[in-house]
Amino acid sequence: TQQWEQDAQRWNDQWQSIVNSHRSRLGLAQVERVRDYVLTERPWLACDPSLGPWPSDDPSVFQTGAWLLPDPNPLEAELEAFLQAGEPPVYFGFGSIRAPGDLSRAMLEAARALGRRAILLRGWADLGAALDEPDCMVIGEVNHQALFARVAAVVHHGGAGTTHAAT
Tens-place pLDDT, residues 94-104: 887 777 778 88
Q: Report the pLDDT value the prediction gives residue 69, as an integer from 0 to 100.
A: 86
Q: Report the pLDDT value the prediction gives residue 160, as an integer from 0 to 100.
A: 76
Tens-place pLDDT, residues 1-26: 688 788 889 999 999 999 999 999 99
Q: Report the pLDDT value the prediction gives residue 98, as an integer from 0 to 100.
A: 76
Residue 86 DSSP code: S
Ranges assigned E (strand) in 11-165: 44-45, 62-63, 90-93, 118-121, 136-139, 153-156
Average pLDDT of every residue of the chain = 90
Q: Report the pLDDT value the prediction gives residue 89, as an integer from 0 to 100.
A: 98
Element (H, E) at 6: helix 2-25
Residues of the chain with pLDDT under 50: none
| Residue 136, Cβ density class (10 Å: 0-12 exposed, 13-18 middle, ≥19 buried) | buried
| 136-139 vs 153-156, strand pairing mode | unpaired
Domains of the chain: 2-63 (no CATH), 77-166 (3.40.50.2000)
3-class state of residue 140 by DSSP: coil
Q: Report the pLDDT value the prediction gives residue 45, as an integer from 0 to 100.
A: 86
Q: Report the pLDDT value the prediction gives residue 152, as an integer from 0 to 100.
A: 98
Kindly report the pTM of this predicted structure: 0.71
| Residue 139, Cβ density class (10 Å: 0-12 exposed, 13-18 middle, ≥19 buried) | buried
